[in-house]
């Protein structure tokens, strides 16, 4: 397809032969695929990050493992930068494709609200949660990923806790945590419904079951994330007079 053809297809919604354009379906698939990758990433991220609940040693060892310590002596923080860059590209791509689902004017938004009130359909309200949490995440997630890309060596029980407490990053993490967990939870539920993954013999009953499972996952992840954040705040508070000193096997 030439560039001119694809522009015409985008504008008219029809291809050169007058058939319905396949671009929206392709974009839909790409949005689902990038969303699924990000949801998987964040579910492991929150788990790894909660290693601080086991102890500072556990979090330190995990950080070093991600820096490739078993293979590279002392670890290489650039590995974290590279990982953060890859996630950043997927994150931006996902947000960019999602932008077409934003209401394009205040009037359109008002129409949506009226519609949603009229229908009282909970799945219509989920769309609103997705749009607003996605909007918050776009900014806060970018700040966080930029920090991870540019300061990959500043991750660890004390380095992270200093950032969270002394550098006052905790309000940002609190907002990011709530929005990312809601967004990922609702997003995965919508994927299950949209592509009919768990429909089986009785789609309706399975839809209700999927909803309950996602609600439970949202609560579990929220609690885990909040308790981890609280632990980092406590460590940061205790460490405030030693701000900047790092946790190593020798210096604890
Ligand atoms: C490769 C990319 C990433 C790395 C290396 C990374 C690393 C970290 C680290 C080390 C922390 C602990 C706090 C700190 O040191 O500042 C943290 C916290 C957090 N990250 Fe990430 N992160 C990445 C991507 C993301 C993404 C894409 C999101 C969501 C958009 C995210 C959401 C969060 C949240 C919500 C917290 C706070 C968790 C809590 O309060 O329990 N991270 N991240």
- Which residues have C-beta within 8 Å of that of residue 13, sequence separation ≥ 6? 20, 21, 24
8 Å CB contact between 17 and 28:
no
Residue 100 CA: distances (Å) to CA of 31, 90, 95: 11, 17, 9
Q: What is the pLDDT of residue 79?
A: 97
| pTM of the model as a whole | 0.89
Q: Residue whose CA is closest, atom 17 of ligand 1?
A: 49
pLDDT (average), residues 186-204: 86
| Range of weakest confidence among 18-32, 72-86, 101-115, 203-217 | 101-115
Instruction: Say if ligand 1 is within 6 A of residue 182 CB.
Output: no
Instruction: Say if ligand 1 is within 6 A of residue 161 CB.
Output: no
CA atoms of 73 and 231, how far apart (whole Å): 29
- Which residues have C-beta within 8 Å of that of residue 55, sequence separation ≥ 6? none
Query: What percent of the chain shows pLDDT beyond 90?
Result: 65
Instruction: Say if ligand 1 is within 6 A of residue 144 CB.
Output: yes
Instruction: Please report how the helices 23-49 and 203-238 are oriented relative to each other, as an axis angle in degrees rounded to 10.
Output: 40
pLDDT (average), residues 105-120: 71
| Range of weakest confidence among 117-126, 164-173, 211-220 | 117-126
Per-residue pLDDT at 41 exceeds 80: yes
Per-residue pLDDT at 19 exceeds 90: no
Ligand 1 centroid to residue 101 C-alpha, Å: 26
Ligand 1 centroid to residue 173 C-alpha, Å: 8
Q: What is the pLDDT of residue 101?
A: 74
Q: Specify the 3-state DSSP secondary structure of 20.
A: strand
pLDDT (average), residues 179-198: 91
Burial of 91 (0-12, 13-18, 19+ CB in 10 A): buried
pLDDT tens-digit readout, 231-248? 999 999 999 999 999 998
- Which residues have C-beta within 8 Å of that of residue 1, sequence separation ≥ 6? 9
Would you place residue 250 in the very low, low, confident or very high pLDDT band (cuts 50, 70, 90)? low
Per-residue pLDDT at 17 exceeds 80: no
Q: What is the pLDDT of residue 20?
A: 74
8 Å CB contact between 250 and 238:
no
Choose from 122-136, 144-158, 182-196 the range with maximum mean pLDDT: 144-158
Specify the residue for token string 């670890």.
75
CA atoms of 180 and 164, how far apart (whole Å): 18
CA atoms of 156 and 148, how far apart (whole Å): 12
Instruction: Say if ligand 1 is within 6 A of residue 181 CB.
Output: no
Q: Which atom of ligand 1 is nearest to the CA of 66?
A: 5
Q: Which atom of ligand 1 is nearest to the CA of 154?
A: 15
Decide which of 220 and 192 is more confident.
220
Q: Which two tokens stand for residue 113?
A: 């609200």
Ligand 1 centroid to residue 134 C-alpha, Å: 16
Domain 20-242's class? mainly alpha
Q: What is the pLDDT of residue 202?
A: 83
Domains in the chain: boundaries? 20-242
pLDDT (average), residues 15-24: 76
pLDDT tens-digit readout, 149-182? 999 999 999 999 999 999 999 999 999 999 999 9
Q: What is the pLDDT of residue 123?
A: 67
Q: Which two tokens stand for residue 180?
A: 């990312």
Q: Residue whose CA is closest, atom 28 of ligand 1?
A: 141
Instruction: Say if ligand 1 is within 6 A of residue 158 CB.
Output: no
Q: Average model confidence (pLDDT) for the chain?
A: 90
pLDDT (average), residues 210-218: 94
pLDDT tens-digit readout, 43-101? 999 999 999 999 999 999 999 999 999 899 989 999 999 999 999 999 999 999 988 77
Determine the residue of 44, 45, 136 to mutate for testing ligand 1's pocket, defined as the one with the most ligand atoms within 8 A of the Cβ atom: 45
Q: What is the pLDDT of residue 34?
A: 97
């Amino acid at each position: 397809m030439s560039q001119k053809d694809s522009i015409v297809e985008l504008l008219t919604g029809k291809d050169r032969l007058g058939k319905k354009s396949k671009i929206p379906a392709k974009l839909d698939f790409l949005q689902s695929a990038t969303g699924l990758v990000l949801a998987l990433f964040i579910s492991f991220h929150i788990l790894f990050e909660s290693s601080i609940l086991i102890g500072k040693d556990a979090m330190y060892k995990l950080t070093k493992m991600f820096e490739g310590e078993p293979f590279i002596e002392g670890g290489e923080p650039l590995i974290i930068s590279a990982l953060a860059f890859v996630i950043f590209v997927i994150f931006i791509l996902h947000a960019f494709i999602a932008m077409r689902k934003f209401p394009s004017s205040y009037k359109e938004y008002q129409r949506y609200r009226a519609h949603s009130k009229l229908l009282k359909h909970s799945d219509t309200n989920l769309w609103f949660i997705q749009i607003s949490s996605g909007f918050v995440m776009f900014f806060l997630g970018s700040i966080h990923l930029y920090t991870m890309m540019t300061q990959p060596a500043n991750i660890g029980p004390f380095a992270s806790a200093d950032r969270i407490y002394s550098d006052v990053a905790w309000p940002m993490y609190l907002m990011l945590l709530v929005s990312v967990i809601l967004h990922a939870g609702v997003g995965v539920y919508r994927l299950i419904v949209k592509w009919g993954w768990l429909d089986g013999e009785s789609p309706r009953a399975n839809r209700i079951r999927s909803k309950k499972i996602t609600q439970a996952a949202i609560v579990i992840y929220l609690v885990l994330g909040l308790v981890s954040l609280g632990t980092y705040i406590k460590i940061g508070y205790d460490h405030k007079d030693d701000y900047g000193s790092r946790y190593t096997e020798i210096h604890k």
